[in-house]
Chain A
């Protein structure tokens, strides 16, 4: 079997999105923070790709990076985002500086206005906290109608940013300041908004559309946010902790909804969460992230039944089991490492907490394939060898 490395994978026609070596750094006054480093993964048609990790592991930053929503002082510093869009590929095939391969285009090389135009019709995102994602002073219906109208204008004139925010003269500015969002609420966009609210299971959508976000419960508002995200009929929905703020019975409803709309629309979903249970219920394939890197990836069974990376093993050992409670939990010792570039070192980032750290961990491990499954890889020296206690090192030695 040949060694598959990240950049040699070919782009096949079932790959909707291929992220390669994407790195995002934040340049703060205290120093450079490596929030995500050389992250690579593929999203195929019709699948739910799970990204799991603890806080600060870089999972949200990765999602924001791929749809180009990183704000200063952060910046995407390297990598490729290959997206399958035949029309776009045709348009840019001969253009200098734009990488095109078959039907795929590297979005990091196209002009920013093109990337922006893809938000909505190609990528859409839902966030953790629906309460803070809506404007509290505009009705839910108007906010969704606005998204519908922006997408309609974008479709009519895909390349122009101006067309979507058209008529932004002083008069419109004044009107919009006094009555926010009004310019986008038309008869047809309002109707479509109500239709979308109905599709996400909100009872009496016509009446609820005229209510304000504070009149919605958390679960209903999360449904409304999903409706808004569907306004542009995206190919890929990025769901960042979509149920973390919700109670379990409501969480179950939202997960069902996500699954239904995914099946109905044939979309792909990138599901980002810290909850391994949610990941297990929803995902076809999984990326486990730690300290800005993908440390292990594979199909659902690979990760849950045959985890190789000690971090994945530790994560699974840390959760209390609902059905067969273990007498004692096996936590991962220590704390999440600092992501400041100056403090990160050159070895494996997990080595100082790893119960199986060896001498070879002082060097950065490559992503290696794991025996037994085509898709299973781990960024760990243990991917293709077993632990040798005679080479063990302690956490202190890692730091030296």
Chain B
């Protein structure tokens, strides 16, 4: 797979938000405060595969997905889609790009216009891109709704008449209307009940196979990510800490954060009873003022002086598996520095 060119290549992507950045603030002499939502992220996605982007709330995974589609303007970095630079595209090129790259949002309650019928919602992209006339759109709407498991007679219903799972199906049908190659799925099943979640996951897998889609699957639920992804990238405080094939990440995680995440997930089996998880103490630090060096050092059980001083670069720990941790490098000065107070020495 690594022989081909990736469909999407993201290099050093940054997205900062600035607080206290109004004219008034400047007159009062306040310095803008940056919130580094995404702080130097690299990844690539090959055609036909699913990259799972996983992390806790506030780690920047959704911002990454939105910035990749240019729904938000990046602060810095490079995004290449099929060889073209997304950040340099002009309006016409962007319209063309949006036909090829689509998005499904998390909340099926707020992402559908309550005043539009299911049919209109699903075919609005066709109207915007001027692809089909009214009659053709209606035909296409029936086709799309049936493909996602709804029936043709539901075409004139409004979003409130559908259940959460059905609404998410409408959102998926809308994303497919333009026959895209690439879809960003931003927490597409996290608002759904487990039985319905399984239906939608199966649908997404079927659609991928049928249309040869490439997915960026953003989620916080590790079991879902393991189920659907080919490769996984784990984010913490705006940075990717580990990437690799899904089985490597889940069976041999090398970064302490990935290990802690996996350890923390409650498993639905009788053996889980009474299992005590003391994986990570404390809270996620604020992205306004992230810790120096490795962002995890305030919570990491293996943190040493070296982690506070410098930010680790990704190290290849296994073919195609990279972990941004000094522990992955046997010869690193980390091993000679002193453990931090909260950490255990090993």
- Interface residues, chain A, with chain B CB atoms under 8 Å away: 54-55, 217, 219-220, 247-253, 255-256, 259, 274-283, 300-301, 304-305, 314-323, 325-326, 328-333, 335-336
Please, which residues of chain A bring their CB within 8 A of the CB of B163?
Answer: 335-336
Residue of B165, B195, B273, B277 most packed against chain A (CB within 10 A): B195
Kindly list 5 other residue pairs between chains A and B, CB separation below 8 angstroms, not including A278-B266, A280-B270, A318-B197: A217-B284, A248-B56, A304-B268, A320-B223, A331-B199
Residue of A220, A277, A281 most packed against chain B (CB within 10 A): A281
**By the criterion CB–CB under 8 Å, are A318 and B220 in contact?**
no
**By the criterion CB–CB under 8 Å, are A249 and B264 in contact?**
yes
Please, which residues of chain B bring their CB within 8 A of the CB of A252?
Answer: 263-264, 277-280
Please, which residues of chain B bring their CB within 8 A of the CB of A275?
Answer: 266
User: How does the 8 Å CB contact mask read for B241-281 relative to A, with 1 for contact and 0 for none?
Assistant: 00000000010000000001111111111101111111111
Please, which residues of chain B bring their CB within 8 A of the CB of A326?
Answer: 227
Please, which residues of chain A bring their CB within 8 A of the CB of B281?
Answer: 253
The main secondary structure of chain B at its interface with chain A is: helix
- Report the separation of the CA atoms of residues A256 and B266 in the bound assembly, to the nearest whole angstrom: 12
Measured CB to CB, the nearest residue on chain B to A260 is B276
Please, which residues of chain A bring their CB within 8 A of the CB of B197?
Answer: 318, 331
**By the criterion CB–CB under 8 Å, are A321 and B270 in contact?**
no
**By the criterion CB–CB under 8 Å, are A276 and B268 in contact?**
yes
Is B226 an interface residue when CB atoms closer than 8 A count as contact? yes
CB-CB nearest 4 A-B residue pairs? A277-B266, A331-B198, A320-B227, A247-B56
Is B57 an interface residue when CB atoms closer than 8 A count as contact? yes
Measured CB to CB, the nearest residue on chain B to A250 is B283
Q: Given A281-B274, A314-B195: A217 and B283 within 8 A (CB)?
A: yes
**By the criterion CB–CB under 8 Å, are A336 and B193 in contact?**
yes
Measured CB to CB, the nearest residue on chain B to A256 is B276
Q: Given A277-B267, A330-B198: A319 and B220 within 8 A (CB)?
A: no
A174 to chain B, nearest CB (A): 37
- Report the separation of the CA atoms of residues A301 and B193 in the bound assembly, to the nearest whole angstrom: 23
Please, which residues of chain B bring their CB within 8 A of the CB of A333?
Answer: 199
**By the criterion CB–CB under 8 Å, are B266 and A318 in contact?**
no
Please, which residues of chain B bring their CB within 8 A of the CB of A325?
Answer: 226-227
Please, which residues of chain B bring their CB within 8 A of the CB of A318?
Answer: 194-195, 197-198
Please, which residues of chain B bring their CB within 8 A of the CB of A283?
Answer: 273
Please, which residues of chain B bring their CB within 8 A of the CB of A315?
Answer: 194-195
- Report the separation of the CA atoms of residues A316 and B226 in the bound assembly, to the nearest whole angstrom: 17
- Report the separation of the CA atoms of residues A137 and B271 in the bound assembly, to the nearest whole angstrom: 44
Please, which residues of chain A bring their CB within 8 A of the CB of B223?
Answer: 319-322
Q: Given A247-B57, A277-B267: A54 and B279 within 8 A (CB)?
A: no
Q: Given A217-B283, A335-B165: A322 and B265 within 8 A (CB)?
A: yes
Please, which residues of chain A bring their CB within 8 A of the CB of B201?
Answer: 320, 329
A367 to chain B, nearest CB (A): 22
Q: Given A249-B279, A280-B269: A54 and B226 within 8 A (CB)?
A: no
- Interface residues, chain B, with chain A CB atoms under 8 Å away: 56-57, 163, 165-166, 193-199, 201-202, 205, 220, 222-224, 226-228, 250, 260-270, 272-281, 283-284
10 inter-chain pairs at a CB distance below 8 angstroms, sorted by A residue, are: A54-B194, A255-B266, A277-B265, A277-B266, A280-B272, A282-B273, A283-B273, A321-B223, A322-B222, A322-B267
Please, which residues of chain B bring their CB within 8 A of the CB of A220?
Answer: 283
Please, which residues of chain A bring their CB within 8 A of the CB of B266?
Answer: 251, 255, 275, 277-278, 280-281
Please, which residues of chain B bring their CB within 8 A of the CB of A251?
Answer: 264, 266
Q: Contact check: which of A279, A281, A330 meets B275 at CB < 8 Å?
A: A281
**By the criterion CB–CB under 8 Å, are B268 and A248 in contact?**
no
Measured CB to CB, the nearest residue on chain A to B285 is A217
- Report the separation of the CA atoms of residues A333 and B198 in the bound assembly, to the nearest whole angstrom: 10
- Report the separation of the CA atoms of residues A219 and B194 in the bound assembly, to the nearest whole angstrom: 24
Q: Contact check: which of B196, B250, B277 meets A335 at CB < 8 Å?
A: B196
Residue of A249, A259, A275, A335 most packed against chain B (CB within 10 A): A249
**By the criterion CB–CB under 8 Å, are A329 and B198 in contact?**
yes
Please, which residues of chain A bring their CB within 8 A of the CB of B57?
Answer: 247
**By the criterion CB–CB under 8 Å, are A248 and B222 in contact?**
yes
Please, which residues of chain B bring their CB within 8 A of the CB of A319?
Answer: 194, 198, 223, 268
- Report the separation of the CA atoms of residues A55 and B263 in the bound assembly, to the nearest whole angstrom: 27
Q: Contact check: which of B194, B222, B226 meets A276 at CB < 8 Å?
A: B194
**By the criterion CB–CB under 8 Å, are B56 and A281 in contact?**
no
**By the criterion CB–CB under 8 Å, are A329 and B227 in contact?**
yes
- Report the separation of the CA atoms of residues A220 and B283 in the bound assembly, to the nearest whole angstrom: 8
A70 to chain B, nearest CB (A): 23
Measured CB to CB, the nearest residue on chain B to A305 is B270
Q: Contact check: which of B196, B265, B270 meets A331 at CB < 8 Å?
A: B196
**By the criterion CB–CB under 8 Å, are A322 and B250 in contact?**
yes
**By the criterion CB–CB under 8 Å, are B220 and A247 in contact?**
yes
Please, which residues of chain B bring their CB within 8 A of the CB of A278?
Answer: 266
- Report the separation of the CA atoms of residues A248 and B59 in the bound assembly, to the nearest whole angstrom: 13
Please, which residues of chain A bring their CB within 8 A of the CB of B220?
Answer: 247-248
Please, which residues of chain B bring their CB within 8 A of the CB of A329?
Answer: 198, 201-202, 227
Please, which residues of chain A bring their CB within 8 A of the CB of B198?
Answer: 317-320, 329-332
B305 to chain A, nearest CB (A): 23
**By the criterion CB–CB under 8 Å, are B193 and A304 in contact?**
no
B323 to chain A, nearest CB (A): 18
